[in-house]
Chain A
Amino acid sequence: MKYLAQQAINALQLGSIYALIALGYSMVYGVLTMINFAHGDVFMLGAFFCLLLIAIVPVPFWLALIVVMGATALLGTLIERFAYRPLRNAPRVSAIITALGCGLVIQNTTLGISPYARPMPHLIDNATYQFAGITVTTLQIIIIGVSVALMLVLDFLISKTSFGMAMRAIASDRATVSLLGVPANQVIAVTFALGAALGGAAGLLYGMAYPVVSAAMGITVGWKAFVAAVIGGIGNMRGAVLGAFLLGGVEVMTVAVLPSTYRDLISYSLLLLILVFKPHGLLGKSTIHKA
């Protein structure tokens, strides 16, 4: 029993990080109906910005988090402004491919600048707590705690503030919204910034959890988080979180029971199964569609 409980804590940690990234994907998809493939690399840059920051001036964890989130938010806004906005009215596929291209450029530029993996310096004192035979570290508590806090803040933002209402309005009908006086471009820019900030936070937390940072870490985690967002229903924030924890759980539990080579097989088969029965994800809205 405690073995399963221990694995559950591992799953929670992994799921929290996926959730932060998946939220970024869902937010952007919600307002622009576009899959931002560069998001995974923004996540990776979150960890690298942290490394850069600590190398210049050692700061405590909470300050590093704020700075990194700010930096990635800025990056997200820039990408949106120069790569996606010109393609706002172009065929959707062009925007997706541009996103893919941007992601590759970011990843390989980082790889070119820093081909070697780097160690993540310690930002917190990591104490281990043992109770009932389960080990929990301060790090895990912080990761899960910070992720949940950010998710709650986002949820509040979307459902209870006027800005959130604007976001939801743009998600429904972009053309009409501008007629009603909502500054669509600004709202979209801020949405991107928020999504990127969450991704950056996820990168920092991931770097703390797995302290060897390399430029290639954006791809695998990025795609997994994207899958999580889709499982939950892309465009739906709560769905993204649900999907992320589900994916984290499935991944950890698969490896807990079977050899690790089955992990991807089971995760993606589960995804396929969910999509066959619920083509718009677990919490997604289904539209009338000819079969």
Chain B
Amino acid sequence: MIGMTSWTKSRYLPAVLLVAGLIVTAILPSTGLVNDYLQFVIVSVAINAILCVSLNLVNGWMGEFSVGHAGFMALGAYASAILTVKLFPSAPAALIFPAAVLIGGTVAGLAGIPVGILSFKTRGDYLAIITLAFLMIVKSGLENIPYTGGPRGMLGIPRLTTVAWAYFWCVVAFWAIRNLVYSKYGRGIAAIREDEIAAEAMGVNTRTAKLVAFVTSSFFAGIAGALFAHQLQFINPSSFDILKSTEILVMVYLGGVASLGGSLLGAGFVTILTQCLQPLGTWRMVVLPALLVLLMLFRPGGIMGYRDWNWLKPRIPFRSKPDVKDNGKEEIVP
């Protein structure tokens, strides 16, 4: 029939699937099909995916090398935990949790502003050091604040992260970053990666682009941190050290830089593999980096570097023939 396209190409399909996913994850715990531990792993995958995609924005699309991501995560975790544990311990979960997560994200996002400003003048390895310094300052600063438990951390954070919430925030993060990346800001960010001076010459406001990238990246890292705190019920500054940043880096570069699908893949692969290889003990931390090194030697961008699955890309307008075979080799790739 004229005008009728197959349901897989319906413009409402993604929205329907996402809502269905939300419903599934909301009722999943009560069905008893998936035990607590598996839920724990699924939530961890979601949190790591948010961390990956937000780091990918700065490391992948903008081409920098930020090692301070765990610092933003820490700020989000602590900010949200202060809210739920110290300030409003008896508020109803459905109200306080989204507020806490948002506030965690905001605090982290605000912290992204100075780092973004510092990135105007420095690039490359010096920016890496600045992000490292930022991470260590955050970690060390938290160790010296007795209100949040100092170096021994904060206990008793309520278990508010459910599979549904983790899924929700994961979808929001991917959706927001996808839209950012395929927008004019995203083009600007990618232009900075390719050649900053040329980008500036072509009219890209590099300062705005850098700020937008850093703030968005740190905002979502903060959200991931808040979810992390409410899953583990306990946080201390040493959970957010250079090792944590390294873990996230491994996930990003394994899955694929500048790729949404790659972030998801990297997060899932590394998280699940870490859990599955538990019996190997320390040796599992030899397997993962060795895989990474091999991958770098043969596929420097990661498994899905600089590419994405079609269903993650926004629909390009003005496509007159909706059933044209789309083999993924889009020319317009940010």
Among B140, B253, B289, B290, find the residue whose CB has the most chain A CB atoms closer than 10 A: B289
Interface pair A35/B125, CB less than 8 Å apart: yes
Interface segment, one of B101-109, B177-185, B267-275, B292-300: B292-300
Among A94, A276, A291, find the residue whose CB has the most chain B CB atoms closer than 10 A: A94
Interface pair A94/B296, CB less than 8 Å apart: yes
Which B residue's beta carbon lies closest to that of A92? B124
Q: Known contacts A115-B282, A262-B144; is A291 also within 8 Å of B130 by CB?
A: no
A window 234-267: CB within 8 A of B: 234, 259, 261-265, 267
Among B65, B133, B144, B249, find the residue whose CB has the most chain A CB atoms closer than 10 A: B133
B window 120-134: CB within 8 A of A: 120-126, 128-130, 132-134
B: interface residue count bin: 35 or more
By a CB distance below 8 angstroms, the chain A residues around B205 are none
| Interface flags, B39-61, vs A, CB<8A=1, else 0 | 00000000000000000000100
Q: How many A-B residue pairs have CB under 8 A?
A: 134
By a CB distance below 8 angstroms, the chain A residues around B126 are 230, 275, 279-281
| Interface flags, B133-144, vs A, CB<8A=1, else 0 | 110110111011
Q: Is chain A's interface secondary structure helix, strand, loop, or mixed overall?
A: helix
Decide yes or no whether B286 CB sits under 8 A from chain A. yes
By a CB distance below 8 angstroms, the chain A residues around B242 are 219, 223
Interface pair B300/A90, CB less than 8 Å apart: yes
By a CB distance below 8 angstroms, the chain A residues around B151 are 261
User: What count of chain A residues pass the 8 Å CB interface test?
Assistant: 49
The one of B121, B243, B292 in contact with A291, judged by C-beta atoms closer than 8 angstroms, is B121
Interface pair B296/A272, CB less than 8 Å apart: no
14 contacting pairs across A/B (C-beta < 8 A): A87-B300, A96-B65, A97-B249, A98-B293, A100-B289, A112-B283, A219-B242, A261-B140, A262-B144, A264-B137, A264-B140, A267-B136, A272-B137, A281-B126
Q: Which 3 A-B pairs have the closest CB atoms?
A: A104-B289, A265-B140, A94-B300
